[in-house]
């Protein structure tokens, strides 16, 4: 499974690399030591940085969600623009080579980011453990953090087993069907 994971990560290297960067940046901000900063290492750390797990609830939450949100935002912007160019504008290769290539490029970059939006399984487990096993942090915060925690927890496992790529395909097809009813 690690081989498949690494292959998918390398195939989507722009998003993988930048996800590693966001994790590294957040570690810096939170004062967490980072052992390796090779964002494209050929193991299950590919797209992540090997760091100490935060022990405080807010730090654990930030570590598990902010890099994900950054990649989600960037991926959505690229993917949305590419999607509009290719599908909404229906620009094919024969219409405008430059615009078509640009559209495909934007789609690829967008997909590469969207395939790398979840944290390491260990980060997600650490967040869940701190908030809902050790019950650190106030109750209101834990209630609000519940859905994001479940989301990143489940997502991190999906990403570990390369299911996010399949879900992305399903999403693209679903979006194609829905888009006509979404904008007017």
Partner 1 sequence: MDKENLNGIPEEEIIKCSYCGRNEAAEGSEYCDACESKLLAKRIPFMGWAAGFVSLLAAVVLFTVAMSGTILTSGVSSGDKYADDKNWHAAYEQYFEGYRKSVGRINVINDFLNGIFETEQRAYVNPSLGIKKKMINVVANYYGPLDAYYYATAFLSENEMAMPFMKDYTRIYQDFQTTYMTVEETSNKSFEENADYKAILAEMDEHADKEGVNKVFLNYHKYVVAVNLGAPVSEQIEILKNIEKFAAESGDDYSWLSNPTMAQTLYDAGETDETMVYLDKIIESNKSSYEAYRLKMKIQVMAGDVEAAGETVAEFRANYENNELGYFADVLEIEYLRCIGEYEKAEALCVEADESYKNVPETNGIMDLTYIIENRLIVPTEIYRQRALLLMTVGNYGDAFREIMEAYRMETYYAQNIQCVTSLNDPKFYGTLYLSAFLANSNNQVAEEDMPDVEMVLGMFSEGSVSKEIDAIKNGEKTVKEVLAEGDFEAA
Chain residues in the site for partner 1 (CB under 8 A): 14, 17-18, 20-22, 24-25, 28, 31, 33-35, 37, 39, 52, 70, 73-74, 76-78, 80-81, 84-85, 88-92, 94-96, 98-99, 106, 109, 113, 179-184
| Choice between 109 and 145, CB closer to partner 1 | 109
Look at residues 14, 18, 118 and name the one whose alpha carbon lies nearest to residue 68.
Answer: 118
Q: Least distance from C-beta 146 to partner 1, angstroms? A: 28
36, containing H or E segment: strand 34-36
| Choice between 24 and 153, CB closer to partner 1 | 24
| Choice between 90 and 138, CB closer to partner 1 | 90
Instruction: Determine the distance from the C-alpha atom of residue 60 to the mean position of all C-alpha atoms in its chain, rounded to a whole number.
Output: 17
Q: Least distance from C-beta 37 to partner 1, angstroms? A: 6
Q: Least distance from C-beta 139 to partner 1, angstroms? A: 26
Q: Least distance from C-beta 1 to partner 1, angstroms? A: 25
| Choice between 106 and 145, CB closer to partner 1 | 106
Longest CA pairwise span in the chain (Å):
60
| Nearest-angstrom CA–CA distance, 70 and 19 | 8
Tell me whether strands 34-36 and 50-51 are parallel, antiparallel or unpaired.
antiparallel
27, containing H or E segment: helix 13-30
The residues pairing with 50 across neighbouring beta strands, listed in sequence order, are 36
């Amino acid at each position: 499974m690690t081989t498949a994971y690494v292959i998918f990560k390398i195939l989507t290297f722009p998003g993988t690399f930048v996800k590693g960067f966001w994790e590294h940046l957040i570690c810096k901000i939170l004062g967490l030591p980072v052992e390796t900063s090779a964002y494209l290492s050929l193991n299950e750390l590919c797209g992540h940085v090997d760091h100490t797990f935060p022990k405080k609830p807010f730090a654990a939450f930030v570590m598990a969600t902010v890099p994900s949100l950054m990649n989600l935002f960037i991926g959505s912007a690229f993917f949305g623009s590419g999607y509009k160019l290719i599908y909404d504008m229906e620009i094919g290769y024969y219409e405008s080579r430059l615009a078509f290539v640009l559209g495909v490029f934007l789609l690829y970059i967008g997909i590469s980011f969207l395939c790398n939006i979840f944290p390491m399984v260990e980060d997600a487990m650490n967040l869940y453990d701190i908030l809902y096993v050790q019950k650190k942090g106030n109750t209101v915060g834990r209630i609000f953090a519940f859905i994001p925690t479940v989301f990143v927890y489940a997502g991190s496992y999906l990403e570990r087993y390369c299911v996010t790529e399949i879900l992305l395909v399903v999403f693209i097809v679903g979006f194609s069907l829905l888009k006509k009813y979404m904008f007017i």
